[in-house]
Structure 1
């Protein structure tokens, strides 16, 4: 969905994990297209064969923007990602290769490499060194594929113990590894919960931002349901020259279609 405002253009992708949950997952592609979206993102395509996801996208006339690397089984040390978990190197590598396979089949240009939670018994420096080594290896695999790897910091209120400390740490890792291949996933919701100053931090990190996601706080609903000044935030993103997509990774407060009224109130 490409939306024009006085500040410029924003390109919005529906997140099919969070939106259109009124219908089964395979029906959300058509529902997103009917609502005016031309692009989607979602964390895990791995429950379906690549050809089946490709068919759902093509039938609905949608582009796939982003997928995540695979998560481990629920309750396992890698349930939130394997990159930050010493001892899970092979699982991490297998997951990256699988993600790149799906990204190629779906023509997704961004893969979010999930950091995961540092095991309590593992030294913080060792876990971070493992993370940097893993991201360096992943960058080698992604180089030349047209896929950019995105690093996302999850706020510690929602996921205590999540390895990646902040967006600024993500930016430092991307810069050290290869900023052409690795970038920052700038999630406005997590940024607000983490320490605020959303616009200032977006401007500072802008050269390294590979993808943007939005939701309001508190509640993680659609823009306009919380405290974030989305009129200013989205206007600044539109003026910045950011050419990527903005993933709508929010939980609609009172239904997906009705909740889309925020577009008129805040952007148009």
Structure 2
């Protein structure tokens, strides 16, 4: 395959999960990757012990891996994703408590891209009130991210796997991006274009790339069907990533796919070793 102009990174929350968290950066580096991303690793702790943060920071730096993307706290993923949409009370407070901690951690490693999952609808609560709270929380996150000269990412999930999430299309995600930017006046919110989720939603991927590449702050990929490595499904990533490059996107492409029943290190045969390191 091509990809000579694409900068790839590995998501250590879906790949190398057969290993303890602190061993994953070194495993990714051994597989040839120098850049990684993470979902918030402490699913029950939006504010973990500083010793845990320090241990992960050391694991990343000792391995020679750069952190290029980090999710804010959203509970256990995949699962009952909470994110910014949580109703007022403990869960909303947990999200807001996590934001400065995550930004400080990411900033210490040079990370400037922070993904805030919108979350699922909460039964019995007015959707308009939920959206109002989500916008407040996302604006808070955008202002905090701005202090680190970073980008707040807004991602569309897919309706078949996340039926209670109200953000399941590229246009809807970009509406949220626009609302956050209008609220803060900072223009530091951007679209996270996950080609797997958009494909699962039945969107026209070439059209989505042409329309939204300029609004995109990060890209993630997995093949469809199956959410496996490129080549295990029907998506033509040579074409899609080429279209992204032609449309002007030159940012990171996160490998956010499942290795299946094999060790993660064997799930990269589709990508020649020299193209795995950041270049």
The alignment's TM-score, normalised by the length of structure 1, stands at 0.88
State the partner residue of 1:226.
Answer: 233
- More relative contact order, 1 or 2 (CA 8 Å, 6+ apart): 2
1:172 has 2:168 as partner: no
Using the TM superposition, give the Cα deviation of residue 8 of structure 1 relative to its aligned residue in structure 2, in angstroms.
Answer: 5.3
1:32-87 C-alpha deviation (Å, 9 max, x unpaired): 1111101001102446622212211111111001111112479xxx9512311231
Q: How does 1:61-210 map to 2 (within 5 A)?
A: 61-72=64-75, 79-88=80-89, 89-178=92-181, 180-210=187-217
**Contact preservation (8 Å) 1:82, 1:91:** no
**Contact preservation (8 Å) 1:8, 1:239:** no
Q: What is the alpha-carbon distance in structure 1 between the residues aligned to residue 75 and residue 96 of structure 2? A: 13
Q: What is the alpha-carbon distance in structure 2 between the residues aligned to residue 150 and residue 73 of structure 1? A: 19
Q: Unpaired segments of 5 or more residues in structure 2?
A: 43-47
SS across alignment from 1:263: coil
Q: Which piece of structure 1 moves more, 88-97 or 35-44?
A: 88-97
Distance 1:95 1:214, change over 3 A: same
Using the TM superposition, give the Cα deviation of residue 216 of structure 1 relative to its aligned residue in structure 2, in angstroms.
Answer: 0.7
Q: What is the alpha-carbon distance in structure 1 between the residues aligned to residue 75 and residue 216 of structure 2? A: 26
Using the TM superposition, give the Cα deviation of residue 152 of structure 1 relative to its aligned residue in structure 2, in angstroms.
Answer: 1.0
1:85-125 C-alpha deviation (Å, 9 max, x unpaired): 23144233212222212222232111111211111212222
Q: Unpaired segments of 5 or more residues in structure 1?
A: none
**Contact preservation (8 Å) 2:214, 2:247:** no
**Contact preservation (8 Å) 2:82, 2:118:** yes
